[in-house]
Structure 1
């Protein structure tokens, strides 16, 4: 009987919560002069339509269809239980990027906070500022010059163990191993592939859970992501404790990587970061330095397999000129990467056509007006890469692959935004550029390849990837 009453109470509270959410949304939608659009179903809103467009391989369709339907570059919707305004276009990007910390601030769905529970007592905005103050010390030009040789060393070992002597490989899982290995080596000085692999199997559970239905039941993507995040954080705490001992015994250097720097740094009040805090931050860095770069590396391989041979041939020629200039065993340098100009133009065009993330969220810090429409305080906002990357006004013939778009001065401001823009531009942009180009160098100088699935789609869930992981046949170059 007690269980029956408990079930009734649970049902009542759930129904009440849904009613409150629905009532809240209805009231918010009654604000005057909102942008055009609709909110979809109660609570769920248009979340399914938004997500399914990515699952079906047409992630831009949700945005572009509504821009056409409402004849507006801003429209309202409801995603992940929140009223939201979609900002679409270069003028929208400029407005949001220019008003970061003034009218808008970073926001993520509550599911993200549940997958990455934080030990922090301060706001996400304050923590973001702290990290952005810290990261340039490790991602500036001087630091990156040191990283190239390390990335090259990791890439050599990765290709020797995972690619060579294989006639078939599946590219995306391998690019994830490469980028995670690089991140673990640079952020925590972990260079053991077996230790990296312990992380890898759990990292693979996280992306699909981030924007899944937030039902924490065994077997659901959301539940798997929560468990994976918890495991990784527990492993990070073990590494942090050991590093503290190594620093105390003089076995580790205070400046050798981001982990050591965090452990020896204190704030203006002389307070050191807690182990929990550092684990949170390292987890975030590993996520940021892993999935997005691996997505781009795999999609570069996909496009080079599909495009006219002359594009691959030009990348190959550029990379072989650099390879021939090196002595046996000599690692790549910053100067070598700086010579990979055509290869980077190709990578940039891949990032335009298939950016690893399709946009990002913001929250209105106060009421404001944009394009004649009111945006109420507390509403969530979303800016979209597709709104400019696939817009013929920004990029003529947007579906055509044309790396020459990035020659000279390149695209117009606020149209090309795979790394965001303004104060929130990805601080790891140059890190990603080096990591991607080192990968391209080793891939094209070793192999040509062809897709096993000729019509394999590109999907987003939420990271943009080849739908089947891009299985390919490898054809090694003759020495």
Structure 2
């Protein structure tokens, strides 16, 4: 090829290649899910907060696609998967864990925020073993004893209580006791106060300016980590001084201190702290919200309350004076758990779950490019009449027999993405409700109280309940 021909060839190539590339990119753009990016920086986050997740998600389903649409939440472009097939797709396809920057900056040490917080196989297996039913049986008497103490100190002698704040206190106190075995009341209250700040801006636009929810949340996270590091350092020293390898009553922290990764290396204090914070968050915020709205349902629906009371009082009458609940007692609370599930269906406790595509994915006729964030959510199935007849009706019988169609009821995720803490949450909720219902009849003090959405659905006044002790 002579110089002139080569120059012409190169010229044509330089002209055609960009055009071909543009065509490919345009085609790729056309195939991504429809939707809106909203405003610069904030995206559609404010619209999401003000309208609430149910209205936001179902509204965009109708506007863009019933299968998958794109949006921008918490500073990140993402694809929202809808319906049972959308949930199944995210649970089973090639995706990896992902958290919004706002969450990582609040919860984790700065050196961990720039990377994917991935759980190793060893740690995943460890947590799974710790939270499986067989391992949790030993904690039921502790849960029951703490619930009784809580009833005596926080409910007894009051005419009106605020259920939301008390549910938070119980779930947090229990988590601190079981996971890191801190029993000093002043210390627990101090961590609780800092943790409350964490929740305020956990899912928010990550603008760290004084006075913003995110700024308060970042400060709260820093103080929680400092408190936990003190506990971890002290426990490590105690175990080394005693040359203790198998504590007589090992909690989550003690076992984490003994855990070695795939390379035989022990976890650092900061890595342990990250895992404890994640466990505290999962066991505290979601469960306390679930308890709050279960109590709301029982207060509003006397016929449901009566059936729960009948089931639980039969268990109570079978116990000796002062005898604590057992695993066998929990298994008898079938109707009560159906009520809990129906409450979770009507009021999911969180937005859903975040993932990231590890390769290009195809769903609903659209392409989700590698690196895109994916969100599954209960809000596109839990009140969908296609899956639940008369979806606004409170009907615990939906969960009898085989229960709902797979991937339609997803408060704990599904498939291999199922929340490992599901059984812990079930035991915690049933023990708490047992101790309330067998002691009190209750009704809402303000039936017109509004529900707002912060990180989770929240009664604006804390769900005040007027309580009446059962006659002995």
Name the stretch that deviates more: 113-122 or 257-266: 113-122
SS of residue in 2 equivalent to 1:478:
coil
Is contact 1:207-1:463 (8 Å) kept? no
Which residue does the alignment assign to 1:41? Answer: 39
Is contact 1:183-1:289 (8 Å) kept? yes
Q: C-alpha separation between the residues in 2 aligned to 1:477 and 1:28?
A: 69
In the TM superposition, residue 392 of structure 1 has moved relative to its aligned partner by 0.3
Q: Does 2:86 correspond to 1:92?
A: yes
Q: Does 2:397 correspond to 1:399?
A: no
Q: 1:267 to 1:132 in 2, by over 3 A?
A: closer
Q: C-alpha separation between the residues in 1 aligned to 2:163 and 2:462?
A: 6
In the TM superposition, residue 403 of structure 1 has moved relative to its aligned partner by 0.4
Q: Does 2:282 correspond to 1:288?
A: yes
Is contact 1:82-1:379 (8 Å) kept? no
Match of 1:368 among 361, 365, 379: 361
Is contact 1:74-1:85 (8 Å) kept? yes
Is contact 2:45-2:204 (8 Å) kept? no
Equivalent residues, number: 445
Q: C-alpha separation between the residues in 2 aligned to 1:224 and 1:441?
A: 36
Q: CA RMSD in A?
A: 2.0
In the TM superposition, residue 411 of structure 1 has moved relative to its aligned partner by 0.3
Q: 1:216 to 1:39 in 2, by over 3 A?
A: closer
Unaligned stretches of 5+ residues in structure 2: 1-24
Q: 1:459 to 1:199 in 2, by over 3 A?
A: same
Match of 2:437 among 437, 444, 448: 444
Q: Does 2:119 correspond to 1:106?
A: no
Bigger Cα Rg: 2
Which residue does the alignment assign to 1:13? Answer: none
Question: Any idea what the Cα deviations from partners look like across 1:112-163, whole Å, max 9, x if unmatched?
Answer: 1211233559953532644322112211222111010110011011111011
Q: 1:124 to 1:134 in 2, by over 3 A?
A: farther
In the TM superposition, residue 256 of structure 1 has moved relative to its aligned partner by 0.8
Question: Any idea what the Cα deviations from partners look like across 1:160-208, whole Å, max 9, x if unmatched?
Answer: 1011011111111111110011111111122333322111111111222
Q: Does 2:334 correspond to 1:336?
A: no
Q: Does 2:318 correspond to 1:325?
A: yes
Question: Any idea what the Cα deviations from partners look like across 1:35-54, whole Å, max 9, x if unmatched?
Answer: 22222223332221112222
Which residue does the alignment assign to 1:52? Answer: 50
* TM-score normalised over the length of structure 1: 0.89
Within-5 A mapping of 1:109-120: 109-118=100-109, 119-120=111-112
Is contact 1:452-1:472 (8 Å) kept? yes
Which residue does the alignment assign to 1:15? Answer: none
Question: Any idea what the Cα deviations from partners look like across 1:320-373, whole Å, max 9, x if unmatched?
Answer: 111111111111001101100000000000000111112122212111211111
SS of residue in 2 equivalent to 1:31:
helix
Question: Any idea what the Cα deviations from partners look like across 1:35-89, whole Å, max 9, x if unmatched?
Answer: 22222223332221112222xxxx2111111212235321122223322211110
Q: 1:433 to 1:140 in 2, by over 3 A?
A: same
Match of 1:179 among 152, 161, 171: 171
Which residue does the alignment assign to 2:459? Answer: 466
Q: Does 2:160 correspond to 1:162?
A: no
Within-5 A mapping of 1:68-83: 68-83=62-77
Q: Does 2:139 correspond to 1:141?
A: no
Which residue does the alignment assign to 2:15? Answer: none
Q: 1:30 to 1:338 in 2, by over 3 A?
A: same
* TM-score normalised over the length of structure 2: 0.90
Is contact 1:356-1:465 (8 Å) kept? no
Which residue does the alignment assign to 1:198? Answer: 190
Is contact 1:177-1:197 (8 Å) kept? no
